[in-house]
Structure 1
Amino acid sequence: MVKRLLLVDDEAAIVEALQDILSDEGYAVEAAFNGEEALQRLHAARPDLMLMDLMMPVMDGRELLRRVRQDPSLHDLPVVVMSAGRITDEERQAASATLAKPFELEVLLETLQKHLPEPESST
């Protein structure tokens, strides 16, 4: 079963590059360019994992992470935070994992694999 990712970043070049890479790795990738757009997409169709930046316009990643963790329908969603800036202890605790930009592709793929939910077996 194809794993669905929501990629949230306001930098189009990063979104495009990661979408291409992750699609080539077999993921179905949807993109949002700010936290507000991400929330709309999360409520329309919940992905298996959200990969998000912290620094964005309209609604930043910090607010998005806070809202996701407070929402009963999303609170357990795996969230990987990526940032070129400082990631606070509070953000590290709320996130499933954090990545400092720039990061190695192998590290990203290992992190996604580690935090994606296992498929439910039908026994």
Structure 2
Amino acid sequence: MLKTILIVDDELGNAEVLSLILEDEGYRVFCAANGRDGLDKVREVGPDLVVLDFMMPVMNGAEMGHALRASPQTAHIKILMNSSLPEASVAQRFPLYDAFLRKPYSIDDALDTIRTLIA
């Protein structure tokens, strides 16, 4: 069965590149530019995984992550948090992610982590 991934990142170039790579790997991929749009998209597409940027306008990754974990309908969705900040700084604001990648990360690391999370 096709796995669905939602990329939530305000840097659209990053999201587009990752989206194309993941589509080539056989995933269904959707994008959102901030946490509020991301929550709307989660309800629309029901992703298996959210690749979630930490620093974004409107609603940041920590706020979106808390909203996902607080709802019984979305608490099971895997969250791959990513940021240029150190992981310890991110974990202080939102420790409930399933995996973390520090930007800039290699595509191979991202693919390995994603495969592990939604095998």
Name 2:103's counterpart in structure 1.
101
- One-letter amino acid of the structure 2 residue matched with residue 34 of structure 1: N
SS in 1 for 2:16: helix
SS in 2 for 1:65: helix
Name 2:22's counterpart in structure 1.
22
Name 2:36's counterpart in structure 1.
36
CA distance in 1, matches of 2:113, 2:94: 14
Alignment of 1:54-69 (within 5 A): 54-69=54-69
CA distance in 2, matches of 1:76, 1:90: 21
Q: TM-score, normalised by structure 2?
A: 0.92
Name 2:112's counterpart in structure 1.
110
Number of aligned residue pairs: give it.
117
Name 2:46's counterpart in structure 1.
46
- One-letter amino acid of the structure 2 residue matched with residue 47 of structure 1: P
SS in 2 for 1:51: strand
Structure number with greater Rg is 1
Give the alignment's Cα RMSD to 1 decimal.
1.3
Q: Which runs of 5+ in 1 are unaligned?
A: 119-123
Q: TM-score, normalised by structure 1?
A: 0.89
SS in 2 for 1:93: coil
Q: Which runs of 5+ in 2 are unaligned?
A: none
Fraction of identical pairs, as percent: 34
Structure 1 residues 91 and 24: alpha-carbon distance in aligned structure 2, compared to 1, 3 A threshold: farther
